[in-house]
Amino acid sequence: MADPARHANVAFGSALVCLLWVQAPAVTVRLDSGQLRVAAPGIRFLSGRALERLENGATVIFPIQLTLLTDSRNFVRHRAAARFAVSFDLWEERFSVTRLGGPGPGASHLTAAAAETWCLDHLPIPAAGLADRTPFWLRLEIRAEQPGQEAANEEGSTFNLTRLVDLFSRPLPSGQAGWRDEAGPLRLADLKKP
């Protein structure tokens, strides 16, 4: 015979786990030597069609933008944007990542999660000029460029911050994968270690 109290406890526990999972932030922020860095364990951009293209031997370009907003999200304080080229080694089943036009070498032999983390770790945004108690938000935007779009973006001009900002100001084209999330309100005072 079923115990109604036990079933109620199991149902309550399951509901609590679901509630905690839904409320878990997709984007977290840390302060590192005057730079804000994000982690996004809830955003898996090496997935879906982009992953299919990678597994078919294509290199996929991911423009990523991080925006620091203040004044209840009405003022853009800082913006960082870059393009990352990701490829997949079919034999080792590992990813390689390079920041296009960026300093330093890329990384290889990474899992999908490690490759996603590497991209975000290489896109810091300065916290300079932000008061310790000023509320702020960080918006993370990621897009996967379509096949053929990479060549069009490379022809004749450098893909600079202005062009990346313009890219993210336009609506996402039909069929193009994109991810967007925010963290905040946050304060530097809460991010600083005691």
Whether 81 is covered by a domain: the verdict is yes
Query: Which range of residues forms the domain containing residue 59?
Result: 27-191
Task: Order across the sheet with 178-186: list the strands.
Answer: 107-110, 94-99, 75-89, 60-70, 136-143, 178-186
Tens of pLDDT, residues 70-99 = 988 889 999 999 999 999 998 999 999 999
Assigned domain for 71 exists: yes
Please give the radius of gyration of the chain, using alpha carbons only, rounded to the nearest integer: 20
* Residue 5 resides in a domain: no
**158 lies in a domain?**
yes
**20 belongs to a structural domain:** no
Measured in residues, the chain has a length of 194
**Domain count across the chain:** 1
Q: How confident is the model at residue 69 (pLDDT cuts 50, 70, 90)?
A: very high
Please report whether residue 1 resides in a domain: no
Does residue 70 lie in a domain region?
A: yes
Q: What sign results for the dihedral spanned by CA atoms 40, 174, 58, 80?
A: negative
| Residue 139 placed within a domain | yes
CA distance 191 to 188: 5
- The most distant pair of C-alpha atoms in the chain lies apart, rounded to whole Å, by 75
Residues 138-189: tens digit of each pLDDT: 999 999 998 765 444 444 444 555 555 555 555 555 566 678 899 999 999 9
